[in-house]
């Protein structure tokens, strides 16, 4: 019986650990979006879809200095909300649609205390 209770305690400990990690990741993502320039940059990247945008184009469209845009893109990248690839001399930033969907799923998990509700969680499934 002691072995069983120890195993259950360990499972509970692991469950709480993974919940804390998720909470921290979600808090990091939401914190990144709490700044207006980052929110606008992410929305512009969502509109751009899988083609993405360069920091220069984002900077010009949003009226933000290139240095400031680089800082904001770095913060969005650390939060896991954007990805970056190199195309020759250019960096291309793209919205991380999978991560955004995970974030929405996390925020709406257990909605309405498990009862049926009207919530239809929006997700993005852009063609590649």
Residue 64 sits in a domain whose CATH number is 1.10.10.10
Across-strand partners of 83? 94
Residue 116 in domain: no
Which pair of tokens denotes residue 74?
């770095």
Dihedral pair phi/psi, residue 83, rounded to 5°:
-120, 165
**Whole-number pLDDT of residue 53:** 97
**Whole-number pLDDT of residue 17:** 46
Which pair of tokens denotes residue 108?
């709406």
Residue 114 in domain: no
Domain range enclosing 87: 2-101
**Count of structural domains, the chain:** 1
Residue 109 in domain: no
Residue 124 in domain: no
Residue 119 in domain: no
Residue 122 in domain: no
**Whole-number pLDDT of residue 23:** 81
CA 91 to chain centre: 19
Across-strand partners of 92? 85
**Whole-number pLDDT of residue 35:** 95
**Whole-number pLDDT of residue 13:** 55
Residue 88 in domain: yes
| pLDDT averaged per 10 residues in sequence order, the chain, 128 residues | 57 53 83 95 96 97 96 95 94 94 78 65 61
Residue 126 in domain: no
């Amino acid at each position: 019986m002691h072995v069983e209770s120890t195993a259950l305690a360990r499972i509970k400990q692991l469950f709480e650990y993974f919940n804390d990690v998720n909470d921290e990741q979600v808090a990091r993502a939401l914190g990144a979006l709490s700044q207006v320039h980052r929110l606008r940059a992410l929305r512009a990247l969502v509109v751009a879809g899988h083609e993405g945008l360069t920091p220069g184009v984002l900077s010009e469209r949003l009226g933000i200095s290139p240095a400031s845009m680089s800082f904001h893109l770095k913060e969005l990248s650390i939060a896991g909300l954007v990805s970056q690839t190199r195309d020759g001399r250019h960096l291309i930033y793209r919205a991380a649609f999978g991560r955004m969907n995970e974030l929405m799923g996390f925020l709406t998990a257990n909605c309405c205390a498990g009862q049926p509700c009207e919530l239809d969680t929006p997700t993005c499934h852009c063609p590649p």
